[in-house]
Amino acid sequence: MQSPKPEVLLLVLNLAGTFVFALSGATAGVKRQLDLFGVLVLSFVAGNFGGLTRDVLIGSVPPGAVSDWRYLAVSLLAGVITFYWFPAIDRLSSPVLVFDAAGLGLFAVSGTQKALGFGLNPFMAALLGMLTGIGGGMARDILLAEVPTVLRADIYAIAALAGAMTVVVGQYLHLPAAEATIGGAVLCFGLRLMAIQRGWHLPVMRRPDRQDPPPGSPNGEMDGQ
**pLDDT of 78:** 95
Structural domain range at position 95: 6-198
Tell me how many domains the chain contains: 1
**pLDDT of 151:** 82
pLDDT tens digits, one per residue of 153-188: 678 899 999 999 999 999 999 999 889 999 999 999
3-state secondary structure of 201: strand
Domain membership flag for residue 80? yes
Task: Give the range among 29-33, 87-91, 204-208 with minimum mean pLDDT.
Answer: 204-208
Domain membership flag for residue 93? yes
Domain membership flag for residue 216? no
**pLDDT of 35:** 96
Task: Give the range among 18-32, 57-71, 204-218 with minimum mean pLDDT.
Answer: 204-218
pLDDT tens digits, one per residue of 42-61: 999 999 999 999 999 999 88
Given pLDDT bands bounded at 50, 70 and 90, which one contains residue 224? very low
| CB contact set of 201 (below 8 Å; sequence gap of 6+) | 152, 153, 154, 155, 195, 221
Domain membership flag for residue 102? yes
Q: Is the pLDDT of residue 212 over 60?
A: no
Q: Give the orientation angle of helix 36-58 with respect to helix 95-117, to 10 degrees.
A: 30
Say if residues 171 and 122 touch (Cβ distance below 8 Å): yes
Domain membership flag for residue 217? no
Domain membership flag for residue 207? no
pTM above 0.85, yes or no: no
Given pLDDT bands bounded at 50, 70 and 90, which one contains residue 220? very low
Domain membership flag for residue 222? no
**pLDDT of 225:** 33
pLDDT tens digits, one per residue of 92-140: 757 777 888 888 998 999 899 999 999 999 999 999 999 999 998 899 9
The secondary structure of residue 199, as a DSSP letter, is T
Q: What span, in angstroms and rounded, lies between the C-alpha atoms of 25 and 27?
A: 5
How many Cβ atoms sit within 10 Å of the Cβ of residue 172? 10
How many Cβ atoms sit within 10 Å of the Cβ of residue 112? 35
Domain membership flag for residue 203? no
